[in-house]
Amino acid sequence: MAPIPASPPPVTGQAPQISQARYGFAGMAIGANLSDLHSIRPKATCVRRKSEIEDCTAPDQPIGGGYLARDLTYRFVGGRLAQIRFHSSIDAFAFVVARLKHDFGEPSDIHRNDVSLDGRVFPHVAFVWRNGRSTTRMSDPNTAGQLAVEITLDAAKAKFNAGSA
């Protein structure tokens, strides 16, 4: 059994520069409290995965152009937000990239390759934003017809991914 991960550090109240911006989505920033989720997303439902890990799902959120962030999941470690995940249609690519660039600036890295999904090969692109505390990744396609976004507190990723339920 994997060790229980340490709690993420609390969010500071200072307004950061874009390179140090707190990453987040739909009103929730990495490092926020679980109680913040219930006030911002009152329809979110939570399930405890391990003693310190709680996954909460929230209703779909608009991205732009009529597209939605679907299966919006917030992972809390020790009561602090350590990861946000969602997916959307591959047709929402331009809207998702525009939203992430607006929120976090230009990506740190862009990787292009091919990916095999359901026995077919597709061109693939992955955008990565880093701020020294958190990493945002957008992968298109992640599954056939969908792209995925994951915003993760760097210090927590290895710990909770090793022990994910």
What are the extents of the domains in the chain? 23-162
pLDDT of residue 1: 39
Specify the pTM: 0.81
Tokens 């310190």 -> residue: 52
Q: Is 17 exposed, middle or buried (0-12, 13-18, 19+ CB in 10 A)?
A: exposed
Strand partners, 124: 113
pLDDT of residue 132: 87
pLDDT of residue 165: 43
Q: Is 66 exposed, middle or buried (0-12, 13-18, 19+ CB in 10 A)?
A: exposed
pLDDT of residue 136: 95
Tokens 């959307």 -> residue: 88
pLDDT digits (tens, 9 = 90+) for 11-37: 444 333 334 457 899 889 999 999 999
69 three-state secondary structure: strand
Q: Residues of the chain whose pLDDT is less than 70?
A: 1-21, 157-165
pLDDT of residue 19: 41
pLDDT of residue 119: 87
